Structure 1
Amino acid sequence: MSEILDARLLASVFITLFVIMDPPGTVPIFLGLTGSMTRKQRNKAAWQAVAVALGVIVSFALFGQSILSYMHISLAALQASGGLLLLLVAMELLTGKMEEAQASANDKVNVALVPLGTPLLAGPGAIVATMVFVKQSDGSAADWVAIALAVVAVHVCLWLAMRFANVIHRVLKDSGVILVTRIAGLLLAAIAVQLIADAVTAFVQAA
């Protein structure tokens, strides 16, 4: 069995990415970003966001180190840029500008791609963690299968969390979603600031 699948590596990658990407924690942010959408649009946004996140994670797992090295970009710089983008999104959630933008632009603004798919789901933390697991693996088929299955499993959990966000929306109603949106904006701002702080720490340590 170990020649086909490394169960220990599978569990390690799954738990790490699950904690970082936090499927349950994405529900209030997902509701906040898709508050003006219909049920059908919200379901579509869920699978689009997961597809984008999976594509980004897989791309960086396979080519991430080469891309960053070629462009002379450090992991800390990637983390800081993701934090700044999330901070902008958090400010819009807190001030209500996100709902206004969705109401005016409607289908022209696809929040499922940015910021939901990336950098919220496929953020610097998930990207770096995946790259580290790939770098630490011995390159065997068992390791690759374990990493691949763990990544897919976490994204399935993300899709399930967002897919059933409609149930939560029906319970909370519009006023409840607005309240959750403001709370999500506050939490997202804290996450963004932490990302930026970690990046600054990494820059200082590297200097």
Structure 2
Amino acid sequence: MTGFDIALLSASFVTFFVVIDPIGVAPIFAALTDQSSAKHRRAMAIKSVLIATGVLLMFAYLGEWLLGALHISLDAFRAAGGVLLFLIALDMIFEKRTERREERVENMAHEDGTPMTSEEDISVFPMAIPMLAGPGAIASVMLFMSGEGATVGGQLAVLGGLAANLVLCLVIFLAVGPLMKLIGDTLAAMITRILGVILAALAAQFIFDGIAGALL
């Protein structure tokens, strides 16, 4: 079949919605940019989605060859991503990120004497990788493109489902920051810690899945 496949579009949209989880990732984005300006938050939202798009497109067409050439299994990728996510979760729980931001502002300055900004670039890690373009999304796009998406129409359907989810992520990211600002610092700190615990559990699941997949 070479025509556009509506059923495959629906299946890919639902699959990517589950593995990317735009609703679940949005509060993490808000927590990581809780002290950022609106301009920086908007830039991080756009940049993280664009980078995730590039990564997923790369794996869609070159994923199997790249991992094979490097002798890296998807399970190893999943476990490594889980470890990195767990470190981020610890920072969120114990507010180490806030401490580092304050120390950076106090100890660093531009050569012209203007103060350094405390805003961090979280677009590549952890937002684009592994929150958006994580092991689940990478595995899904590789499987879709090598299976039912082998035809031109199938590829367009798969990429359409992926694009719809990434656009949804961008829209939610742009809206969730101002909303989180309205709730206040105390409640925001509490939510950040709760999300840190949830992220730690997600990271542990990534690690367990990677280890289990490697042993089976």
Name the TM tier (shorter chain): over 0.9
Larger radius of gyration: 2
1:135 CA drift (Å): 1.4
SS in 1 for 2:121: coil
The one of 120, 123, 129 equivalent to 2:131 is 120
Aligned to 1:101: 100
Partner Cα separation in structure 2 for residue 31 and residue 138 of structure 1: 34
Contact 1:86 1:189 in 2 (8 A): yes
Q: What is the RMSD computed on CA atoms of the aligned residues?
A: 1.6
Contact 1:21 1:122 in 2 (8 A): yes
What is the total number of aligned residue pairs between the two structures?
A: 204
Amino acid at match of 1:142: G
1:34 CA drift (Å): 0.6
Contact 2:29 2:127 in 1 (8 A): yes
Partner Cα separation in structure 1 for residue 163 and residue 101 of structure 2: 30
Aligned to 2:109: none
The normalised TM-score by structure 1 is 0.93
Larger CA deviation: 116-125 vs 135-144: 135-144
The normalised TM-score by structure 2 is 0.89
Larger CA deviation: 122-131 vs 174-183: 174-183
Unaligned runs of 5+ in 1: none
Amino acid at match of 2:29: F
Contact 1:31 1:177 in 2 (8 A): no
Aligned to 1:82: 81
Q: Which runs of 4+ in 1 moved over 4 A?
A: none
Alignment deviations for residues 146-192 of structure 1 (CA, whole Å, 9 cap, x no partner): 01111110000101111101332233122222111111111110110
Contact 1:35 1:99 in 2 (8 A): no
Partner Cα separation in structure 1 for residue 118 and residue 58 of structure 2: 27
Partner Cα separation in structure 1 for residue 187 and residue 149 of structure 2: 49
Q: Mapping of 1:149-168 within 5 angstroms?
A: 149-168=160-179
Contact 2:149 2:157 in 1 (8 A): no
1:108 CA drift (Å): 6.9
Aligned to 1:46: 45
Amino acid at match of 2:132: L
Partner Cα separation in structure 1 for residue 3 and residue 83 of structure 2: 41
